[in-house]
Amino acid sequence: MSWLKRLFGRSEAEVETEPPPEPPVASEPEDSEPLGVPDDPALQLEALGDDPQPTLDEPRVLELIDRVRASGREARAIDLARRILANHTDARAVSQRVAEILASRGDDHGAADLVAPFVDAPDAPLDLCMLAAEIAERRGDERRALALYERVVARDLDYPRARARVRRLREGERHARDLGATLMTDGALTRGRYRVERELGRGGAGTVFLADDLSLGRKVALKVYHRRGRSERERLLVEARTPANLEHPGVVRIFDLDESLAAIAMERVLGGSVRREMEKGKLTVERIRVWFHTAADALAHVHERGFVHRDFKPSNMLLRSDDRVVLTDFGVACAAGWVPAKGAAMAEGTLAYMAPEHRAGAPAHPSMDVHAVGVALKEVLEHASTEPPAFMRECASACVRRDPAQRPNAAWVAEQLEGR
């Protein structure tokens, strides 16, 4: 017996005639991405824009947009999404998502252009109709806004905020002449205490004027509500009384409330808003840090006193001459724990800054404001002239955690953004 036979149980002849083994085939690990696909979601979006496919996987594009935004590159996400939409003009879901982002950044014109091709379709989603209505209302086209809100109500009577806004705009039509009569031809208000000089700004709820307080000889910001229905009266009282119970340099001071005139006289803050500063161009990281440090400090005081602002955003961050923030527009503020009635006007806020539980109608909680701070901080950092330090981005990411219990409180945010 040969040595091969003894060792392997095969003869030399059998070994020589055996076919050579096939080379091993490398197997790809499970769940691995195909070769050539980058890990960076921005590069994946860029590839979709440069090499468009006949059909677009919209859920995948939406996921990539959210991932790019979550990494602090919102402007980049918008630019890449627009490149994709240039080749897929029928991509309704992507157009809506980009429009929501643009609207949250104050670009209502760009947002309106994106939703226009879809909003009049019979099967337009209700949230798309609401978005288009809100944009139209902010742009002053109340007739268009009312028509869109009425479409939403016709399809879903209990759709959040829709009925309240229909009622508000209908009452606005009835009271438009009353508002004009409020301002007399010589610029004085009906009671003679305030004399209007010029308009400072206009929003969905009211118009703010620079006015002289003739009784006390000082300049004030006078906010006159556009409408005077029951829901507007409730909002007026909340907007005036909440900050009146808060003594903090970061909370706007209320001087006077006139229910019959539907007006609030408040301190005049000279520096404009953070939103206006964003529109001017690039911002220094230091200015952004100061803004959000002082805003978070003011919110911490609001929360300590048992209130939730519920509409924190750059346009409600006014600036003093020393660049410190003053919180304004407490029209939807409430006590912590308060539960909004379904569809009630008092449940309103600004959708782009709302925490998931806020949108779902959960009881008011300070963590909702913290979420809005994180969204706003990420947005403003997109306008920074230099790369922001890691701690600012980390702070914003901590604020927008989906689980409210995992978010920090406002005092922690203020501490993190204190001068370093």
3-state SS string for 134-160: HHHHHCCCHHHHHHHHHHHHHHCCCCC
> Which residue carries 């030399």 as its tokens?
12
Choose, from 212, 258, 297, 311, the residue flagged as catalytic.
Answer: 311
Q: What angle do CA 308, 252, 384 make, to 5 degrees?
A: 80
**Tokens describing residue 348:** 């309103």
Tell me how far apart the alpha carbons of residues 395 and 378 are, in angstroms, rounded to a whole number: 9
DSSP conformation class of 21: P
Helix, strand or coil for residue 391?
helix
Tell me how far apart the alpha carbons of residues 420 and 416 are, in angstroms, rounded to a whole number: 9
Number of neighbouring beta carbons within 10 Å of residue 80: 26
Tell me how far apart the alpha carbons of residues 416 and 272 are, in angstroms, rounded to a whole number: 25
**Tokens describing residue 236:** 């007026």
Helix, strand or coil for residue 298?
helix
Helix axes 162-182, 230-244, angle to 10 degrees: 80
Tell me how far apart the alpha carbons of residues 147 and 132 are, in angstroms, rounded to a whole number: 11
- Does the annotation count 311 as an active-site position? yes
Q: Pick the closest to residue 206 from 183, 182, 232 (CA basis).
A: 232
- Which positions are annotated as active-site residues? 311
